[in-house]
Amino acid sequence: MRGIVSPVSRESGPYLLELQEGTFVRQHRKLHHRAPRLLASLLLVTAVGASLTAAAPATAAGSGTRAALGDVIPAPASVDPGGSPYRITERTRIRVDDSREARGVGGYLADVLRPSTGYRLPVTTHGDGGIRLRLAKGPYGDEGYRLDSGRSGVTITAARPAGLFHGVQTLRQLLPAAVERDSVQPGPWVVAGGTIKDTPRYGWRGAMLDVSRHFFRVEEVKRYIDQLALYKFNKLHLHLSDDQGWRIAVDSWPRLATYGGSTEVGGGPGGYYTKADYKEIVRYAGSRHLEVVPEIDMPGHTNAALASYAELNCDGVAPPLYTGTQVGFSSLCVPKEITYDFVDDVVREIAALTPGRHLHIGGDEAHSTSHEDYVKFMDRVQPVVAKYGKTVVGWHQLTGATPAKGAIAQYWGLDGTGAAEKEQVAAAARNGTGLVLSPADRVYLDMKYDAQTPLGLSWAGYVDVRRSYDWDPGAYLPGAPASAVKGVEAPLWSETLENSRHIEYMAFPRLPGVAELGWSPRAAHGWDGYKQRLAAQGPRWEALGIGYYRAPQVPWPAE
Ligand code: TNX
């Protein structure tokens, strides 16, 4: 069994070891899941499962409840209920335009609906009525859609396939939770009547997964992607390198992955993505309309690289691999030319694997790099990202250097971060740097909910469900123009998290609140209404096998 080292174990108390090999008790084939790493762990799982699944028992509670038209997360921009509902029957067809992308969305919807309804639900370009997915010009933007529901059918109209896909997520939530199960359920499958017109507030609705501190296999990443898609996230930021592990194959520097990826926090076996694995993650994310944003954290957080290649160190001596949880002790060697050969090779290879526009270069907690060196480093590295056709994203410390034109800074300070640091970020924003907001004491999903939370950290304080939802990204940073805010992102750091079960316990129920902050208009914001809609998601997660934390702030339906 892998152990967790201090300071995490100290912080996490006696529960953590019990949860180490926690795995799914109930699994679900619609979401990809892991096989238990150790057979022996199964016995333990039964015991541990009791503590975590206590949060999500296998009940069909709420599965027959009918959703009102607006009972969706994120809240739609406009909801106009009325008219007859639509009922999906064994005769329903999924009608699509004759394009590969529309067929793709239709096929995805059929995969969601077929197992639980037991209906054939052919995806076809013919006929009338039924569920229609229609691409048409209109005021929908890149991601918006319109959903019309009435006696003869449900029509989702969008200008782009991503809009159809988001409309399908809305339709899914309008159906009873039991629709998410993988065996035939009784139904009926009724969608309330009326019209939804919906378009996102922000174009960046991200989630970050730290695959470095603990490695997550491709199937585990896909499972999280499916969960993100349900709430209309559109960016998956993968933190691919850190002190504890380098997780992506780089042909020109092969030891990064084979040696630098060979362990993780606590001394477990780690792992890395081959290029084929990474492409498969990118493809799968793309099929769910998410852009993968790869991060190679530099110049700090680089012990795994420094351990793999002695020549990257200023003193020419490779440090040992690191399996602890401290930060800020490593740095690439800024004065050495080979550093920039390394960066060029890595950025080139990762850019070539990445169809998305963005490449994240980290830049946080470079405590072992002098300010002067940090600025020099960023001045040399940002043009390399541009040279390979990508837009720079960096943690907000990048604003202490000179952000490249069009760069995006990801703010991870706290509400209480000092005015000077906030002003540095706001000034960059006034100068054209985009902002993605990830305030740690709001949306760091690795922060404990409260003192009893068995996983996670608490350096930014406890973050309960209301706290993670109840703030406004548009007005968060004083002095930053609202137009600079590109959106929000929920990071999930994995010092204490080892598997999908752990991810879900920390992400649910906070993750959907971040989705709503990123998607819904400010006018739709309100904790009292939100907590009701959130509570209604509980049975859906149970149907999907998502082991969530049954937070006391949320009025979950009785079991
Ligand atoms: C801060 S936020 C970090 C990470 C840690 C995280 C743990 C940021 C850019 N750096 O290195 O994993 O806190 O919560």
Task: Give the lowest-confidence range in 13-27, 220-234, 340-354, 433-447.
Answer: 13-27
Measured from the Cα of 297, ligand 1's closest atom is: 9
* Residue 231 in contact with ligand 1 by CB distance below 6 A: no
Q: Determine whether 86 is exposed, middle or buried from the number of CB atoms within 10 Å of its CB (0-12, 13-18, 19+).
A: buried
Query: What is the pLDDT averaged over residues 215-227?
Result: 98
309 CB-near residues (< 8 Å, 6+ apart): 253, 255, 256, 318, 342
pLDDT band of residue 6 (cuts 50, 70, 90) is very low
In sign, the C-alpha dihedral spanning 122, 71, 138, 142 is negative
Kindly report, residue by residue over 292-320, the tens digit of the pLDDT: 999 999 999 999 999 999 999 999 999 99
Q: What is the pLDDT of residue 260?
A: 98
Residue with tokens 């359920």: 185
Task: Give the lowest-confidence range in 12-26, 98-112, 302-316.
Answer: 12-26
* Residue 412 in contact with ligand 1 by CB distance below 6 A: yes
Is residue 545 predicted with pLDDT exceeding 60? yes
Residue length, the chain? Answer: 559
* Residue 493 in contact with ligand 1 by CB distance below 6 A: yes
Please give the order of strands across the beta sheet that includes 145-150.
78-81, 194-198, 145-150, 153-158, 130-135, 94-96, 123-124
* Residue 297 in contact with ligand 1 by CB distance below 6 A: no
Kindly report, residue by residue over 391-429, the tens digit of the pLDDT: 999 999 999 999 999 999 999 999 999 999 999 999 999
Q: What is the CATH number of domain 78-198?
A: 3.30.379.10
Measured from the Cα of 494, ligand 1's closest atom is: 12
* Residue 365 in contact with ligand 1 by CB distance below 6 A: yes
Query: What is the pLDDT averaged over residues 211-225?
Result: 98
Measured from the Cα of 491, ligand 1's closest atom is: 2
* Residue 327 in contact with ligand 1 by CB distance below 6 A: yes
CA-nearest residue, atom 2 of ligand 1: 412
Burial 175-203 (b: 16+ CB within 10 A, else e): bbbbbbbbeebebebbbbbbbbbbbbbbe
The Cα–Cα gap between 453 and 455 comes to 6
Kindly report, residue by residue over 123-135, the tens digit of the pLDDT: 999 988 899 999 9
CA 494 to ligand 1 centroid distance, Å: 9
* Residue 272 in contact with ligand 1 by CB distance below 6 A: no
The pTM is what?
0.90
Q: What is the pLDDT of residue 528?
A: 98
CA 493 to ligand 1 centroid distance, Å: 7
Is residue 168 predicted with pLDDT exceeding 50? yes
User: CA 69, 72, 75, 81: dihedral to nearest 10 degrees?
Assistant: 0
The Cα–Cα gap between 63 and 491 comes to 31
Is there a contact between 295 and 360 (Cβ–Cβ < 8 Å)?
A: yes
287 CB-near residues (< 8 Å, 6+ apart): 104, 108
* Residue 395 in contact with ligand 1 by CB distance below 6 A: yes
Could you tell which of 211, 327, 459 is best to mutate to test the pocket of ligand 1, judged by most ligand atoms within 8 Å of the CB?
A: 327
The Cα–Cα gap between 462 and 458 comes to 6
Does the active-site annotation cover 365? yes
pLDDT band of residue 559 (cuts 50, 70, 90) is confident
| The token pair that represents 546 in the structure block | 């998502």
Is residue 515 predicted with pLDDT exceeding 70? yes
Measured from the Cα of 325, ligand 1's closest atom is: 12
Residue 382: name the closest of 392, 394, 371 by CA.
Answer: 392
More confident residue, 464 or 13: 464
Kindly report, residue by residue over 173-190, the tens digit of the pLDDT: 999 999 999 999 999 999
pLDDT band of residue 66 (cuts 50, 70, 90) is confident
CA-nearest residue, atom 13 of ligand 1: 493
Could you tell which of 4, 325, 365, 495 is best to mutate to test the pocket of ligand 1, judged by most ligand atoms within 8 Å of the CB?
A: 365
Amino acid at 481: P
CA 236 to ligand 1 centroid distance, Å: 17
Is residue 29 predicted with pLDDT exceeding 80? no
* Residue 226 in contact with ligand 1 by CB distance below 6 A: no
Measured from the Cα of 395, ligand 1's closest atom is: 9
- What fold, for 15-49+201-522+535-549? TIM Barrel (3.20.20)
Q: What is the pLDDT of residue 547?
A: 97
Parse the chain into domains and list their residue ranges.
Answer: 15-49+201-522+535-549, 78-198
Kindly report, residue by residue over 484-504, the tens digit of the pLDDT: 999 999 999 999 999 999 999
The Cα–Cα gap between 398 and 497 comes to 27
Query: Which one is catalytic: 101, 365, 421, 423?
Result: 365
CA 347 to ligand 1 centroid distance, Å: 22
* Residue 455 in contact with ligand 1 by CB distance below 6 A: no
Q: What is the pLDDT of residue 65?
A: 57
